[in-house]
A and B are shown apart, each in its own frame.
Chain A
C-alpha cells in the first residue's frame, strides 16, 4: 500500500508531460515520470521514495514508437520488454529484454529499465555496444545525444528530462552477437553476470551487468579482448583484470563466484565471437 496521496497525470503529448512535471514542481509536489510503475510502486510502498505526482509516459505516442526508418531502428522508451523482446530489429536487444517472465515483462518498460533506480539495467547493454542516439525531452526542449555521452553507470538526465526514444544504426543492430547470463539459481532473479557482446569489423564489443555495481563497457577491456597476440585464455584473464573494478559480494553470490563467472564468460565470448578456430 502507498499510504500517501499523489496526483496522477496522463499526458498525450511530450509538451503536456513536461508541463505537468513543471506544474507539479511549482506546487511543491515531488514529480516522477511513470512508466510500468514496478519500481515506483514497490519503492513507494517501502518508503524509499515519496512521489507527490506521477506523470505517465506510456500514452505519449513518441514513447510507443517501434519502427525502422532511415537506416535506424527506433525504440520508444514506453515499450514493454515483451514488445521489445518480440521485435526482430535488434536480435541482441530482444535477447537482453528476456529477463524475468512474460507476465512481469508486460509491465516492465525499456525506459524504466534504463532510467530506473535498480542497478542492473540489462537492456542498456546492447545499446552501449552500438552508436545509439538517445532522444530526450526536457524543460529546455528536445535534444538527441549519443547515449554514450549521457550513460556512465546510470543514465545522466537533466532535472525534468525524460528518455523518449533510442535510435540504433541497423548495420550494427544486425551484427553477430553473444549473450551469457548467470544467476544465483532462479532464472527470474537478477543476474550475477550478464554479458552482451557484438562482433564488429573492428573486433569484439562487450558490455556487462551484475558483476560490478553498475553496467560497464570498457575500451581497455575490449582492447585486450581483441589483442590477438595473446592466447585466448590469457586474453580473458587480462581482460577481466582490465576492468579494474571490484566484483559485488552480496546475498546472491560472492565476489569470488562472480569473478569466476566473469572469466568464463569472457573466454566463451572470445570463443564464440573472436573468430578463433
Chain B
C-alpha cells in the first residue's frame, strides 16, 4: 500500500507536495492487468440474438441480385437483411453510407447482407447460403485516379447527401470535401524566394488494429427506448446521430459505453450502432449482438486514412521560410465518415509549426474504392510528414543544420497559424523542444555516422504540432457526488479508451480538495441517460476540457460544503478551508468537521439536519472557436496547440536495406504534467504506433483494389520486444486556461515520428525516402536507383 499521509495532518497540509505531477497508479490498471475489465462484448445478456455480416469480395461492383431465401430458412435464423431493407444513409458529417450496401458495393469488405440467428454459429453458417451476383465495375485505385478527368464516380448522388455546413463536397466529382487556405501573397513570395524545394509524398491507408474489435448490442424496449451497448469513444455523438437518422427522440436512446479496448479514433463517430439498431428492429426489438471479426474490424470498419501530397517551400538565403504551396490529397476510401474532417484538420495545420506568412493550401478528401477512413490518432496532422521531409531538403540546399533551420522558423507567440489565428501567450516553446530532442538523440555526433563496413547510423528530426479538431461548441461536464466516508464519486462523459484520463481527472479533483486521489472514485461506464454530456473522447482534449469541468465541479462542491459547515461551525463561509478530508477554520484548523459529517447533510446532536447532500456540478465549453472562411480558411478553430519535437536514430545495412530503429525521442511542451508516468505512457504508445505505420503497416492492394493484407498474419503491427529505446522529456510553458496549466498530449507523440524516421533513413543512405511504410526493400531500391 502506498502511504499518502493525507488524513489527520491538517496543520501541515498546505505544505504537502501537491498531487499534481505525481505518478499515481492508473485507476483502471488492476482491472486491465488481471484481464478482468469488462469491455462491451464481455457481458452476455440472456435472449440475445447474434448477427453476422456477408461482405463484398469486390472493390467496386454492381449488385445484380441477392438471394437470401435459403439462408432465411436455415436452422436458428430469425431474420435476414439486405440493403433494400434499410433505406437510410448514415455518416457523421456527410450522409453517404447505407448500413448495408444498396445497388452497388464501393469497397472490398463492405457489408452486403446480415443474418440474425439464435447462435453466432448459426448466423455464420447461414451466410454461406446467401447468393449474391455482382457485376464488377472499374475500381478507382488511388486519389490521383479519382481526380483524373473521366474517373468513375463513386458517389453519383453526392448532391443529395445531407451534410454539415463545414464540409464542402463537390458533386459530379470524387471530392468529398475541399478546404482552402490562402494567407498573404503565396504566388509573389514563391516567385521571389531565393531557394525553393518541391516534392511529393505518400502513404497508404491502414488500420488502427485496436485490441478490442468494435462491438454493439442493440435492443428496443417495449416502451420504445432504444438501448445500445457499444464500444464507442463518442456515446453522445452516437445518440445525436441515431436521433437524426432514425427520427427517434434523443431521450428515448440510451447509449451504454463501457471502457474501450483501444480507441485511437476508430471508435469515434458512429460505427456499428446504427446497423445493430436496424437489425434489432428487424426482429421485433430483441437484443441483437453485432461484433466485428478481426478481419472485418480491419477492412469493413474504417481505418487510417492514406495521403498523397505535393509540397513546395520557398525560403530566403538565411533559411527563413517565405512561402508554402501545398496540396494534400486524402484517401477517404468508399465513404466520407470522419475523413472529410481529417482533411480539414490537415489544412488547419498545413504548414507544420512554423511561421509562414504566405501560404496557399488545398486539402482534399477524395473518394476511392479503398477501405474507408475515419479518425486515427493524429487526425490529419500526418501532413507533418510531408512538411518535415521537405524541410530537410531545404536544409541541405541551404547548407543549414536541420535543427537550426527549424529553430529559425519555429512558430512563436504573436505569429499566426495558417488560418491567420494569432498564437497566444500560451504557445509552447518549440525551439526549446527542438534543442532538447536534438540533445537526446545525440545530434552533436552528426546526422550520418559510419559505424562499420556497409553499416551507417542516421539521425533525423521533426517538429510537430496539433490542436483538437472539433466543433466550436465541444463541451464536457463533471458531476461529483459523495459517500458516507466523505469520499468523492466522479462522473463524466469521458470514456476510458486507454489513455488513463480518469486518473488525471481524479488527481485534479483531489488537488482541489487537497486530499488523496484514492478518495476520488471514478465511474468508467458512461451512460447517456445519466452521465453529463460530453462531445467525444477524442482530439486529445479530454484532460483539458473535462479537467476544467472537474475543477468547476470541485469548486462548486467545496462552496456547498462550506455553506453547510458554516452553521454548525458558527463562522462565515469565507473563513473555511477544505483539505485532508476536513472542512475547518483557516485560522484555527483544529476547529472543523470531517467531510463525512457534511457531504450527505449535517446532523446536529439532537437529530435535526441541514444542508442535504452535496452535488458538485461543473461544465466547460470551448472558448472563442469559429468555423473557417471557405475561400481563405480564415478562422479560429484551435482550442490549444501542443508543440514538440521528435528525433529518431536508425542503423542501416547499406547492402540490403535492412534497418533497425535504435532510439526514438520526444520533447513536448505539455504545459504541466499531471501524472508523469501516464503522460510518458501516452507519448511512448503514440511513438510506437507511429513506428508501426511508418515501417510495417499500410494496406497492399492487388490491381483490382482488394487489400491483400487484411489478416493479422500479413498486417504486421509492432509487438513487445520490437521497440527501440525511447526517451521522453516534457517542457512546461503553462497553458493558462488549462487545468493546472496542462494541455493535450494523447495523440501528439505520433506526429513527428514518420518525418524524423524518414529523415534519419534518408540521411543514412544519402537518398530521399518520401513514402511510407519504409521497408528494407524500399531503401535498397532507393540506394540502387540513386545512381540514375
CA distance in complex: A184, B719 (Å):
16
Q: B658 contacts which of A4, A101, A182, A188 (Cβ < 8 Å)?
A: A182
CA distance in complex: A264, B696 (Å):
23
Q: Which of A47, A251, A253 has the most chain B CB atoms closer than 10 A to its own CB?
A: A251
A188–B722 contact, CB under 8 A? yes
Known A42-B713, A264-B656: A184·B700 in contact at CB below 8 Å: no
> Using a CB-CB cutoff of 8 Å, which residues 124-156 of chain B contact chain A?
124-125, 128
Q: A185 contacts which of B124, B708, B776 (Cβ < 8 Å)?
A: B776
A3–B656 contact, CB under 8 A? no
**One of A52-60, A109-117, A222-230, A254-262 at the interface:** A254-262
B713–A251 contact, CB under 8 A? no
Q: Across the interface, which residues of A come within 8 angstroms of B780, CB to CB?
A: 257, 260
**A51-94 to B contact mask, C-beta < 8 Å, 1/0:** 00000000000000000000000000000000000000000000
A101–B656 contact, CB under 8 A? no
- Tell me whether B773 is interfacial, beta carbon within 8 Å: yes
B124–A253 contact, CB under 8 A? no
> Using a CB-CB cutoff of 8 Å, which residues 219-277 of chain A contact chain B?
251, 253-254, 257, 260-261, 264
Query: Closest chain A residue to B293 by CB distance?
Result: A1
A251–B777 contact, CB under 8 A? no
A188–B719 contact, CB under 8 A? yes
Q: Across the interface, which residues of B come within 8 angstroms of A185, CB to CB?
A: 695-696, 716, 773, 775-776
- Tell me whether B714 is interfacial, beta carbon within 8 Å: yes
Q: Across the interface, which residues of A come within 8 angstroms of B73, CB to CB?
A: none
- Tell me whether A156 is interfacial, beta carbon within 8 Å: no
A3–B121 contact, CB under 8 A? yes
CA distance in complex: A185, B722 (Å):
11
- Tell me whether A142 is interfacial, beta carbon within 8 Å: no
- Tell me whether B120 is interfacial, beta carbon within 8 Å: yes
Known A184-B776, A264-B655: A4·B125 in contact at CB below 8 Å: yes
- Tell me whether B709 is interfacial, beta carbon within 8 Å: yes
Known A42-B713, A251-B709, A253-B777: A1·B124 in contact at CB below 8 Å: yes
- Tell me whether B624 is interfacial, beta carbon within 8 Å: no
Q: Across the interface, which residues of A come within 8 angstroms of B713, CB to CB?
A: 42
- Tell me whether B17 is interfacial, beta carbon within 8 Å: no
B656–A260 contact, CB under 8 A? yes
- Tell me whether B721 is interfacial, beta carbon within 8 Å: yes
Q: What DSSP secondary structure best describes chain B's contact surface?
A: loop
Known A3-B124, A188-B722: A251·B700 in contact at CB below 8 Å: yes
A188–B777 contact, CB under 8 A? no
- Tell me whether A143 is interfacial, beta carbon within 8 Å: no
Interface residues on B, range: 20 to 34
**B705-726 to A contact mask, C-beta < 8 Å, 1/0:** 0001101011010110110000
Q: What DSSP secondary structure best describes chain A's contact surface?
A: loop
Count of CB-CB pairs between chains A and B under 8 Å: 54
Q: A251 contacts which of B695, B714, B773 (Cβ < 8 Å)?
A: B714
Known A42-B713, A257-B777, A260-B780: A101·B719 in contact at CB below 8 Å: yes
Q: Across the interface, which residues of A come within 8 angstroms of B696, CB to CB?
A: 184-186, 189
CA distance in complex: A69, B608 (Å):
90
Q: Across the interface, which residues of B come within 8 angstroms of A188, CB to CB?
A: 716, 719, 722
The total of chain A residues at the interface (CB under 8 A) is 21
User: From residue A271, how far is it (CB to closest CB) to chain B in Å?
Assistant: 12
Q: Across the interface, which residues of B come within 8 angstroms of A4, CB to CB?
A: 121, 125
CA distance in complex: A136, B721 (Å):
38
A251–B708 contact, CB under 8 A? yes
- Tell me whether A158 is interfacial, beta carbon within 8 Å: no
Query: Closest chain A residue to B780 by CB distance?
Result: A257
CA distance in complex: A251, B776 (Å):
14
**B270-309 to A contact mask, C-beta < 8 Å, 1/0:** 0000000000000000000000010000000000000000
Query: Closest chain A residue to B718 by CB distance?
Result: A186
- Tell me whether A153 is interfacial, beta carbon within 8 Å: no
Q: Across the interface, which residues of A come within 8 angstroms of B777, CB to CB?
A: 184, 253-254, 257
Q: Across the interface, which residues of B come within 8 angstroms of A257, CB to CB?
A: 777, 780-781
B121–A1 contact, CB under 8 A? yes
A186–B722 contact, CB under 8 A? yes
Q: Across the interface, which residues of B come within 8 angstroms of A46, CB to CB?
A: 711
CA distance in complex: A261, B653 (Å):
12
Q: Across the interface, which residues of B come within 8 angstroms of A182, CB to CB?
A: 656, 658, 776
Q: Across the interface, which residues of A come within 8 angstroms of B293, CB to CB?
A: 1
Q: Across the interface, which residues of A come within 8 angstroms of B120, CB to CB?
A: 1, 3
Query: Closest chain A residue to B775 by CB distance?
Result: A185
CA distance in complex: A47, B708 (Å):
17
A261–B656 contact, CB under 8 A? yes
User: From residue B92, how far is it (CB to closest CB) to chain A in Å?
Assistant: 30
Q: Across the interface, which residues of A come within 8 angstroms of B719, CB to CB?
A: 101, 186, 188
Q: Across the interface, which residues of B come within 8 angstroms of A47, CB to CB?
A: 128
CA distance in complex: A42, B708 (Å):
16
Q: Across the interface, which residues of B come within 8 angstroms of A3, CB to CB?
A: 120-121, 124-125
Query: Closest chain A residue to B777 by CB distance?
Result: A257
CA distance in complex: A4, B722 (Å):
37
CA distance in complex: A185, B779 (Å):
11
Q: Across the interface, which residues of A come within 8 angstroms of B709, CB to CB?
A: 251
Q: Across the interface, which residues of B come within 8 angstroms of A260, CB to CB?
A: 656, 780
> Using a CB-CB cutoff of 8 Å, which residues 1-25 of chain A contact chain B?
1, 3-4
Query: Given A185-B695, A185-B776, A264-B656, 10 more contacts at CB 8 Å?
Result: A1-B121, A1-B124, A47-B128, A184-B696, A184-B777, A188-B716, A189-B716, A251-B708, A251-B714, A257-B781
* Subset of 6 A-B contacts with CB under 8 Å: A1-B120, A46-B711, A182-B656, A182-B776, A185-B695, A186-B718
The 3 A-B pairs at the shortest CB distance, nearest first, are namely A3-B124, A186-B716, A251-B700
